[in-house]
Amino acid sequence: MDRVDVVVIGAGVVGLAIASELARKDMDLFIIEKETAIGQGTSSRNSEVIHAGIYYVKDTLKAKLCVKANPMLYKICEEGKIPYKKLGKMIVGNGEDEVKQLEELIRKGEANGVTDLKLIDSDEVKILEPKVRADKAVLSPSTGIIDAHGLMDYFLRKTRMKMGSDPLVLDTEVTGIKKNKDGYLVETLSSGEPFSLEARIVINSGGLFSDKVAEMVGINIDEAGYRLHWCKGDYFSLTGKPPATMLVYPPPLKDTLGLGIHTVPDLTGRLKFGPNAFYVNELDYKVTSDVEPFWSDIITYLPEIKKTDLHPDMSGIRPKLQGPGQSARDFVIEHEDKRGLDGFINLIGIESPGLTCSPAIAEMVAGMVNSYLK
Ligand SMILES: Cc1cc2nc3c(=O)[nH]c(=O)nc-3n(C[C@H](O)[C@H](O)[C@H](O)COP(=O)(O)OP(=O)(O)OC[C@H]3O[C@@H](n4cnc5c(N)ncnc54)[C@H](O)[C@@H]3O)c2cc1C
């Protein structure tokens, strides 16, 4: 039976970032992915925004890792020639209540360490984005967009280069994990055939299925608070010329499920709007939302948009730790040694801003691995 140092479960942006941070010539590492290509899960179904770290509760992993990762990502984009645009973002407010929310967002962002936020008035908004209607807006110059696949390809390239071999095992689903004397027996179905290997360290970055992977090793996910709730977000694309260049967001949703229907410019110059947020039980990426509520949200800040110019586009599903009506939860990034699972690292609930955070998450997990191996 093959015996390796590290198995990373899941070739999404998080698993790939972790592998690229850990990789070295004298380490046997495998990235095991159930699909036939990398990045087929949430990592290819999102807004591709490089977030600044404004919204998240102070001292949470979401806040700390996002603020840390934002400049790291721009540097990675330059070094790895990954397509990106530092477009900047405005969070717009209309009416007294929303303007108060903007002031609160600036306080929140600054408490998290975001240093470049500015509250601008409607004249300044008009200069930057003439078609946007807002009494005030929070300007975030360090928000941008990135080619998520370009980033994943970069992490995989870096891993292969550092290892001098190919760690990627596709079409292989982890079906069972058993703790043994020196680590873990990882059971898989590889192209339909059973295949097992032993690993000293297992890193669970299984995205929407990371709770199920945690269950495989014997964790009671309800007691641990690890059960995931899938929360879908649909997008509608706009035909015609985009009415704004920057990212334009309304104030975030009060139910903490999402950031509100915002503009989602892509690197080709096309514009989408989304995502909304609603819980689902099935993994079905068909856009099912009605255009009407989308359009009524959008015209509060872009009044010239016509409903007939909006068309169902794509959707993504968030791996949320909070269920309907519950308050927002932070990422779980845990070395499970306290549960007697030395060398088993769980990453659960890595929803937004997980794409942005990926290089900082990778550094954090590498720190856990290195202190375990010491
Ligand atoms: C609608 C939406 C919008 C978002 N927008 C943004 C944004 O603008 N900016 C941002 O920073 N973040 C955003 N996010 C969050 C971001 O997309 C995720 O945090 C990130 O992609 C998570 O990456 P991951 O590698 O953890 O998960 P995934 O990409 O889902 O990867 C997990 C992988 O594990 C594999 N896997 C699962 N189980 C097994 C198994 N048993 N055996 C083998 N392989 C397995 C899956 O096939 C998958 O490939 C958004 C998310 C959504 C849903």
How far apart are the C-alpha atoms of 150 and 162, rounded to whole Å?
Answer: 18
Q: pLDDT digits over 248-284, tens only?
A: 999 886 766 778 899 999 999 999 999 999 999 999 9
Q: What is the pLDDT of residue 347?
A: 98
State whether the beta carbon of 350 lies less than 6 angstroms from ligand 1.
yes
Distance 287 CA to ligand 1 centre (A): 18
Q: Is there an atom of ligand 1 within 6 Å of 320 CB?
A: no
Compute the average pLDDT of residues 6-22: 98
Look up the pTM and report it.
0.97
The CA 121 to ligand 1 mean position distance, Å, reads 37
Both tokens of residue 248? Answer: 């334009």
Pick from 15-19, 111-115, 200-204, 248-252: least confident: 248-252
How far is the centre of ligand 1, averaged over its atoms, from the C-alpha of 14 (Å)?
Answer: 7
Ligand 1, from 283, 352, 356: best to mutate by most atoms within 8 Å of Cβ? 352
Our answer on whether the CB atom of 66 is closer than 6 Å to any ligand 1 atom is no
Work out which ligand 1 atom sits closest to the CA atom of 264: 8
Distances (CA, A) of 162 to 28, 208, 357: 12, 28, 22
Ligand 1 atom closest to the Cα of residue 233 is: 1
Nearest alpha carbon to residue 134 among 121, 145, 146: 121
- What pLDDT sits at residue 255? 64
pLDDT in tens, 205-234: 999 999 999 999 999 999 999 999 999 999
pLDDT (average), residues 74-87: 98
The residue-averaged pLDDT of 68-85 equals: 98
Average pLDDT on 279-301 reads 96
Average pLDDT in the chain: 96
Q: Which residues contact 369 (CB under 8 A, 6 or more apart)?
A: 6, 22, 201, 203, 345
Mean pLDDT in residue range 327-339: 96
Q: How far, in Å, from the CA of 356 to the mean position of ligand 1?
A: 12
pLDDT tier for residue 2 given thresholds of 50, 70 and 90? confident
334 lines ligand 1 (CB under 6 A): no
Q: What is the pLDDT of residues 170-200, one digit of tens each?
A: 999 999 999 999 899 999 999 999 999 999 9
**For residue 291, pLDDT beyond 90:** yes
Which of 7, 20, 40, 46 should be mutated for ligand 1, with most atoms under 8 A from CB? Answer: 46
The token pair that represents 39 in the structure block:
């990045």
Q: Whose CA is nearest to atom 25 of ligand 1?
A: 12
pLDDT of residue 257: 76
Q: Of 47, 184, 320, which is best to mutate to test ligand 1, by the most ligand atoms within 8 angstroms of its C-beta?
A: 47
